[in-house]
Amino acid sequence: MARTVAAFKVDHFQFLGSDGKLLDGQQVPALARDFERLTELYKLMVLTRTFDKKAVALQRTGKLGTYASCLGHEAAHIAIGASMQEEDCFAPMYREYGAQFCRGVKMSDVLLYWGGDERGNDFSGPKHDFAWCVPIATQCLHAAGAAMAYKLRQEPRVAVSVVGDGGSSKGDFLEAINAASAWKLPLVLVIVNNQWAISVPRSKQNNAATLAQKGIAGGLPSIQVDGNDLIACLWAMDKAVTAARQGKGAFVIEMMTYRLSDHTTADDARRYRPQDEVDDAWDHEPIARLRRYLIDQQVWDDEREQTLLEESAETVQQAADEYLDIVANKPQPVTAMFDYMYAELPHDLAEQRAYAEEFPEDGGHH
């Protein structure tokens, strides 16, 4: 005799259509009418995209190292940062600049990091946030550890981390889910599903109907939202962060978006990705969608848009100039590569550091 011992579902939430219209038949959250908040976040989305374009240009002209673009992810990333309080902890991956800008990280800090300057990892903003994490998905365990500390200390703080669709296949992500479930941790894990893990499409990586259900397998409430709909992303994040802060445990959110850029500037997505797929994704991108909505609600117009574009360009250029000035006039010595990882250097690295000290600081060669 067979009997059902458990059954599950994953709900998908979207409030704002690609045409900038609220979807019919939806119970729209109150924040959809909070035009002051939405306008400020729209400005930050545009600023983030302006920064992203400038960073790519700096890399292409040899003034920046390999850079990971966030083009198309603006709604997801801004929603993550906007939902958090300063005392919360953010454990980023390596392209969530919008979330970090919400938390006070300077654009010049981001540029320093991608320029190979370790001072970029000592970024402005909350010092309890984690540095950028290039090893895939390990940041999820860092966030779980922080959440455990908050629970043990009985502090009303929340840890938030982000992983991609590819990273959600790593054991680190699943282990973070298991720890959060077993210990009811104040943790929010966001899967920003941009459809491509470098050159591997979502369709070839996992046959599950959703990635959110990985959270359900671990015993966590898990939902999927349209990652190009700022209202849906922000609603989900507010819901999850509030629940975690109230001691109700962890939450998994899958945000469905699309990587409009190459994976990094070291990648050429044209080699593996069909152009018609990219063209279609541009029809659903988050900034144009929110702009149409704000214009329809008569809280935005072309004049404000032009002013925003000009101000954003000026702000980004100032950050680029600050970065370039540091590189030109305040460079780090070559020994800096050894100085930010260990309290006491292992003997082999100490030997290498001593050898590196023999190099002249002007970058000359023996």
Annotated active-site positions, please?
259, 263, 272
The single-letter DSSP state of residue 260 is: -
CB distance 194 to 263 below 8 Å? no
* Backbone torsions φ then ψ of 48, nearest 5 degrees: -65, -40
166: which residues sit within 8 A by CB, 6+ positions away? 136, 196, 197, 198, 200, 205
Q: Which residue has the tokens 């900038």?
A: 20
Q: Which residues pair with 163 in a beta bridge?
A: 191
Cβ-based burial of 148 (10 A; exposed 0-12, middle 13-18, buried ≥19):
middle
271: which residues sit within 8 A by CB, 6+ positions away? 199
Task: Give the end-to-end CA distance of the chain in Å, rounded to a whole number.
Answer: 80
- Distances in Å between the Cα of 294 and the Cα atoms of 33, 43, 83, 235, 300 are 10, 11, 20, 17, 5
The conformational region for residue 247 under phi > 0 = left, psi -120 to 50 = alpha, else beta, is left
Q: How many other C-beta atoms are found inside a 10 Å radius of the C-beta of residue 225?
A: 28
Q: Which residues pair with 200 in a beta bridge?
A: 197
Q: What angle do CA 156, 95, 192 make, to 5 degrees?
A: 70
Q: HSE-up of 119 (CA within 13 Å, CB side)?
A: 13
